[in-house]
Amino acid sequence: MTTTLPARSPATATGPTQSGRPARNSGATTTARWALSRVVGAAFVLWSVATIAFFALRLVPGDPVDALLGGPGNNATEEVRQQTRELYGLDQPVLVQYAAFLAGLLRGDLGQSYQLRQPVAQVLGEQVGNTLLLAALALALAWALALGLALWSTRPGRTAAVVASVLEIVSAAVPHFWLGTILILVFSVNLQLLPATSGAPGVEGLILPVVTLAVPLAGFLGQSMRESMLTAMHSPFALSARARGEAETGVSLRHALRHAALPGINLSGWAFGSLISGAVVVETVFARPGLGRTLLEAVTVRDVPVVLGVVLLIAAVYVVVTLLSDLAERLADPRLRDA
């Protein structure tokens, strides 16, 4: 996975020397073989995540039967307890339960929520859309903010760069829960422009949560996008573009922008993770239904199947996003293809 830059940098460093010689394999075959190995790797990661999550959550203290029967203070008879145990397969050996769990996963069956008495898959299915919408909008906004800032700050002169860098560092340091609270205070309580809770349908309810989620991410993305863009603006190809008489705007838009986008693509998997983590907080602050809040509630009452389900779902999406972002990076950066 290429969420961090060092893993990528050797390839980048050797890229230019290799790209000069004619490629022995056609690019398509290399990419296909690379993609295949990545898919196998991703499958391995998912299986490991499922296994770790399954066994880790068995360490949760307390008898799951108690949780199923309404908490430790229940007055269930031993007979009822035994029936519950059999119903949920809890009387089986661990390995049998593990096998059943894996088999269930393949069928898309994530078990039954202790708390909500619903299949976990159904609970998640109801919530995942809300969170993905929130995360996707926030990602788009963060990209726009970060790229805009990067483009603006590479203008000649030191002031722009300093302002941009201060903006990025401060926004990366802002905790979601505080930003969200302050935004509610300003825009809902004082100005009464936007709703504080986003339970209601409509676009207005989405604005504050999306901004809250996007700003810290934009700060992070902006830092590496700007650095990458600056390097590009000082590189020989930018110089030769200028020598051809291209305007500074043209150089930054046509040549450097692609470089600024690279770390953004490279970090998509990471960004997704941070958005989902942020969603836990943002959905709580704005009382917005979604995966994050479902997860938080499940953690608080130790609803193990739901925690397990959310963890697996997020890990799966994360792995897919990382895979896609690596592929997109190869498409955007020809130097990586021969490496």
Q: Applying CB under 8 A, which residues contact another protein?
A: 1, 3-7, 9, 12-13, 41, 44-46, 48-49, 52-53, 56-57, 59-61, 158, 169-170, 172-178, 181-182, 184-185, 189, 220, 223-224, 227, 231, 234-235, 263, 267, 270, 272-274, 276-277, 280-281, 284, 295-296, 298-300, 302, 304, 307, 311, 314-315, 318-319
- Our CB check for another protein shows the closer of 7 and 324 to be 7
Q: Is the dihedral of CA 232, 234, 237, 239 positive or negative?
A: positive
Residue 327 Cβ vs another protein, minimum distance, rounded to whole Å: 17
Query: Which residues face 119 on adjacent strands?
Result: 112
How far is the C-alpha of 62 from the C-alpha of 78, rounded, in Å?
A: 16
Q: What is the tally of helices (H) and strands (E) in the chain?
A: 15, 0
Residue 116 Cβ vs another protein, minimum distance, rounded to whole Å: 16
Residue 84 Cβ vs another protein, minimum distance, rounded to whole Å: 21
- Our CB check for another protein shows the closer of 90 and 172 to be 172
> Measuring CA to CA, how many Å separate 135 from each of 144, 272, 292?
14, 8, 11
How far is the C-alpha of 104 from the C-alpha of 92, rounded, in Å?
A: 15
How far is the C-alpha of 185 from the C-alpha of 191, rounded, in Å?
A: 8
Residue 278 Cβ vs another protein, minimum distance, rounded to whole Å: 8
- Our CB check for another protein shows the closer of 169 and 253 to be 169
Residue 175 Cβ vs another protein, minimum distance, rounded to whole Å: 5
- Our CB check for another protein shows the closer of 220 and 257 to be 220
Biggest CA-to-CA distance, the chain: 86
- Our CB check for another protein shows the closer of 257 and 319 to be 319
> Measuring CA to CA, how many Å separate 78 from each of 68, 81, 82, 83, 113?
14, 5, 6, 9, 22
